[in-house]
């Protein structure tokens, strides 16, 4: 069979894109046809996603896709995890919340009072993050009574494209309500927590066909129909599917978050893994993503937003990064401190963190930038070595994929702090992983995940970073164990 053209819709927490990919036995090629901002909206009841606006961008992007490449045959959607819409009779009953909204604290306590954290981990295998869907649903409380269905964001977009109702399994694995031992909904857990199990949509594997476009959507594309299929609809699952992992390779999928870990065949459910903050999320083809959510480049982008607000104009990031490379003895702080999760003045929070820990706060924006990158690199290194220990695996290289692969200072510092070689790229790993799985579903390519990754490897050019000796002047903060 010849190559096929597909549209990969990838919605990140800060921006989205629609990519046209050509997938075939000769390899995979991408062309980004539409990029758009994903800007949250604060309403009286908290921080929300503009999902309707996102859907409009998706349709606009698909229109550009079919215009540029008339033989586009299919589309699949991935997005950030955990967030969802509640529907009744096909209508949204509220505006979806953003996972950085702060409404979950009481729900976390209530869930842990009903099912202690160790028991919860044995059931769902997830790192404790206060925004995991299970906590958000409990926070929604009485509002759940108005709903008959919960759809995670990519499933919601898929529903609006096709009418299909389902829960793709890699993203369902981030809810906290999927049984990690058999990948089915944990109805008993939901019921114990007062979450009506009926709102959980039927589980759908990645690589399933949802159907064609609804007529009004096809009409917006000039009458062009597309086969809508599922991929790893959790963006991180698609990113890891698009990462050319060799044996003994670890990865960091680095964008808003830095997802640092290993691909495994089986989950690690030992309580030590829970205490060390590791998650066992579902990957494409039943692989396990054993990783820790490191706070990621959010720290830098949110700092830049603060500085741009202060100055009333754009920040010159390349100059800032170049200057940051020259900083001596940077501050190393715990990037995973919960104070860094909500939007706001991150530089001020870093200064407060330093003062509270008896460390010298960064003196300016350059030192702040270096402190962020140095601390992220330190967290990546610590996390990956710990992951290897817990999984009983060796690691000898780190694949850095996503936007973070473009940050040369971050990649070099990650090599330095881990003592391991870093290979950077692909930047668009998520869109690649999305396109590869679509290509397989549509029959243009075949084989397991490793065979699919080999298609990426054919054309991939990666930058290599070798570890430099650590300077003894770098003060290493004793990081709390997650
Ligand atoms: C990355 C990501 C992470 C998830 C976080 C919140 O984009 O999907 O994997 O933990 O966003 O959904």
CA of 81 to the centre of ligand 1 (A): 5
pLDDT digits (tens, 9 = 90+) for 405-419: 999 999 999 999 999
Side-by-side strand order, sheet with 91-92: 91-92, 84-88, 149-152
Q: Are 401 and 426 in contact, with CB atoms under 8 Å apart?
A: yes
Question: Quick one: which atom of ligand 1 is closest to the CA of 293?
Answer: 10
- Is 71 in contact with 40 (CB distance < 8 Å)? no
User: Does the active-site annotation cover 45?
Assistant: no
Q: Is 291 in the pocket of ligand 1 (CB under 6 A)?
A: no
Structural contact between residues 203 and 184, judged by C-beta atoms closer than 8 angstroms: yes
480 has pLDDT over 60: no
**pLDDT tens digits, one per residue of 52-96:** 999 999 999 999 999 999 999 999 999 999 999 999 999 999 999
Q: Is 293 in the pocket of ligand 1 (CB under 6 A)?
A: yes
Confidence of residue 1 (pLDDT cuts 50, 70, 90): confident
**Whether pTM exceeds 0.90:** yes
Residue 222's pLDDT is what?
A: 97
Residue from 235, 239, 428, 429 whose mutation best tests the ligand 1 pocket (most atoms within 8 A of CB): 235
- Residue 323 confidence (pLDDT) above 70: yes
Mean pLDDT of 295-321: 98
Q: Which of 373, 397, 437, 58 is nearest to 240 (CA)?
A: 437
The answer to whether the beta carbons of residues 206 and 231 sit under 8 Å apart is yes
For atom 1 of ligand 1, the residue with the nearest CA is 80
Place of tokens 């009779």: 89
From 14, 16, 40, 81, mutation site for ligand 1 pocket: most ligand atoms within 8 A of C-beta: 81
CA 266 to chain centre: 21
Nearest CA to ligand 1 atom 6: 81
Residue nearest to atom 8 of ligand 1 (CA): 80
Atom of ligand 1 nearest to the CA of 253: 1
Any ligand 1 atom below 6 A from CB of 236: yes
Radius of gyration (Cα) for the chain, nearest Å? 22
259 lines ligand 1 (CB under 6 A): yes
Quick one: which atom of ligand 1 is closest to the CA of 234? 8
79 lines ligand 1 (CB under 6 A): no
Each residue of 409-458: pLDDT tens digit? Answer: 999 999 999 999 999 999 999 999 999 999 999 999 999 999 999 999 99
Ligand 1 in contact with 257 (CB < 6 A)?
yes
Q: Which of 127, 293, 429 to mutate to test the pocket of ligand 1 (most atoms within 8 A of CB)?
A: 293
Residue 235, ligand 1, Cβ within 6 A:
yes
Q: Is the pLDDT of residue 474 over 70?
A: no
234-265 pLDDT, tens digit per residue, is: 999 999 999 999 999 999 999 999 999 999 99
Ligand 1: atom nearest CA of 129 is: 10
Q: What is the dihedral of CA 220, 226, 227, 232, to 10 degrees?
A: -70
135 lines ligand 1 (CB under 6 A): no
Residue with tokens 């898929």: 158
Distances (CA, A) of 91 to 86, 149, 162, 419: 8, 10, 15, 52
Whether 404 has a pLDDT exceeding 70, the answer reads yes
- Please check the confidence at residue 197 and state whether its pLDDT lies above 90: yes
Q: For residue 302, give Cα distances in angstroms to 173, 305, 341, 349.
A: 28, 5, 10, 12
Residue 354 has a CB neighbour count (10 Å cut-off) of: 18
Would you state the pLDDT for residue 287? 97
Note the pLDDT tens digit of each residue in 107-117.
999 999 999 99
- Ligand 1 centre from 257 Cα, in Å? 7
Instruction: State the pLDDT at residue 479.
Output: 44
Give the pairing type, strands 279-282 and 41-43.
unpaired
CB neighbours of residue 285 within 10 Å: 18
Closest ligand 1 atom to 281 CA: 9
| Token pair recorded at residue 338 | 């919960």
Candidate of 14, 79, 80 to mutate for ligand 1, largest count of ligand atoms within 8 Å of Cβ = 80
Neighbours of 365 (CB within 10 A): 18
**471 pLDDT exceeds 90?**
no
- pLDDT of 214 > 80? The answer is yes
Distance 396 CA to ligand 1 centre (A): 26
* 181-192 pLDDT per residue, tens: 999 999 999 999
Q: Is the distance from the beta carbon of residue 256 to the nearest atom of ligand 1 less than 6 Å?
A: yes
Question: Is the peptide bond preceding residue 285 cis, with omega within 30 degrees of 0?
Answer: no
Residue 475 pLDDT > 90: no
Mean pLDDT estimate for the chain: 96
For residue 235, give the ligand 1 atom closest to its CA: 8
Q: Among the atoms of ligand 1, which is closest to the Cα of residue 79?
A: 8
Residue 142 has pLDDT above 70, yes or no: yes
Secondary structure (DSSP) of 284-323:
GGG-EEEEEEE-TTHHHHHHHHHHHHHHTS---HHHHHHH
For residue 434, give the nearest of 85, 49, 61, 17 by alpha carbon.
17
Q: If you measure from the C-alpha of residue 237 to the centroid of ligand 1, how many angstroms do you get, rounded to a whole number?
A: 10
Q: What distance in angstroms lies between residue 236's CA and the mean position of ligand 1's atoms?
A: 7
pLDDT at 470: 78
155, 235, 249, 336: which is the annotated catalytic residue? 235
**H or E stretch at 373:** helix 365-391
Compute the distance between CA of residue 410 and CA of residue 176 in angstroms, rounded to an integer. 31
Reference 381, options 465, 444, 289; nearest CA is: 465
Side-chain half-sphere exposure of 47, counting CA atoms within 13 A: 18
Q: Is the pLDDT of residue 148 over 60?
A: yes
CA 244 to chain centre: 17
All residues at 6 or more sequence positions from 356 whose CB lies less than 8 Å from its CB, including other chains: none
Assess whether the C-beta atom of 82 lies below 6 angstroms from ligand 1.
Answer: yes
């Amino acid at each position: 069979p010849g190559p096929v053209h597909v549209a990969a819709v990838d919605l990140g927490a800060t921006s989205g894109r629609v990519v046209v990919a050509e997938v075939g036995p000769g390899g995979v090629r991408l062309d980004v046809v539409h990029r758009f901002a994903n800007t949250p909206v604060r309403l009286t009841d908290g921080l929300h996603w503009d999902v309707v606006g996102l859907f409009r961008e998706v349709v606009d992007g698909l229109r550009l896709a079919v215009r540029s490449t008339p033989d586009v045959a299919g589309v699949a959607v991935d997005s950030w995890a955990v967030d969802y819409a509640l529907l009744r009779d096909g209508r949204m009953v509220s505006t979806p919340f953003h996972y950085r909204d702060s409404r979950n604290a009481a729900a976390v306590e209530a869930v842990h009072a009903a099912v202690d954290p160790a028991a919860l981990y044995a059931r769902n295998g997830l790192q404790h993050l206060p925004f995991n869907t299970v906590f958000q649903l409990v926070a929604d409380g009485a509002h759940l009574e108005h709903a008959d269905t919960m759809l995670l964001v990519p499933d919601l977009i898929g529903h609006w494209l096709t009418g299909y109702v389902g829960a793709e399994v890699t993203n369902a694995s981030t809810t906290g309500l999927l049984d990690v031992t058999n990948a089915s909904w944990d109805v008993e857990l939901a019921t114990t927590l007062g979450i009506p199990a009926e709102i959980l949509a039927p589980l759908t594997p990645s690589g399933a066909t949802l159907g064609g476009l609804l007529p009004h959507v096809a009409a917006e594309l000039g009458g062009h129909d597309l086969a809508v299929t599922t991929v790893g609809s959790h963006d991180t699952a698609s990113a890891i599917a698009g990462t050319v992992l060799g044996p003994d390779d670890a990865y960091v999928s680095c964008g808003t978050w830095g997802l640092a870990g290993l691909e495994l065949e089986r989950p690690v459910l030992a309580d030590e893994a829970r205490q060390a903050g590791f998650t066992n999320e579902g990957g494409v083809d039943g692989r396990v993503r054993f990783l820790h959510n490191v706070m990621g480049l959010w720290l830098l982008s949110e700092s830049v937003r603060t500085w741009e607000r202060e100055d009333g104009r754009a920040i010159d990031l390349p100059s800032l990064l170049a200057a940051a490379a020259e900083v001596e003895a940077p501050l190393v702080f715990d990037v995973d401190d919960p104070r860094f999760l909500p939007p706001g003045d991150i530089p001020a929070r870093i200064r407060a963190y330093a003062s509270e820990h008896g460390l010298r706060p960064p003196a300016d924006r350059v030192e702040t930038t270096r402190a962020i990158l140095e601390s992220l690199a330190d967290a990546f290194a610590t996390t990956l070595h710990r992951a290897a220990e817990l999984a009983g695996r060796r690691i000898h290289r780190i694949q850095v994929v996503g936007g973070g692969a473009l940050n040369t200072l971050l990649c070099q510092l990650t090599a330095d702090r881990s003592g391991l070689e870093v290979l950077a790229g692909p930047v668009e790993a998520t869109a690649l992983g999305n396109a590869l799985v679509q290509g397989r579903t549509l029959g243009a390519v075949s084989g397991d995940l490793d065979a699919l990754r080999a298609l990426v490897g054919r054309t991939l050019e990666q930058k290599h970073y070798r570890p430099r000796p650590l300077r003894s002047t770098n003060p290493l903060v004793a990081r709390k164990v997650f």
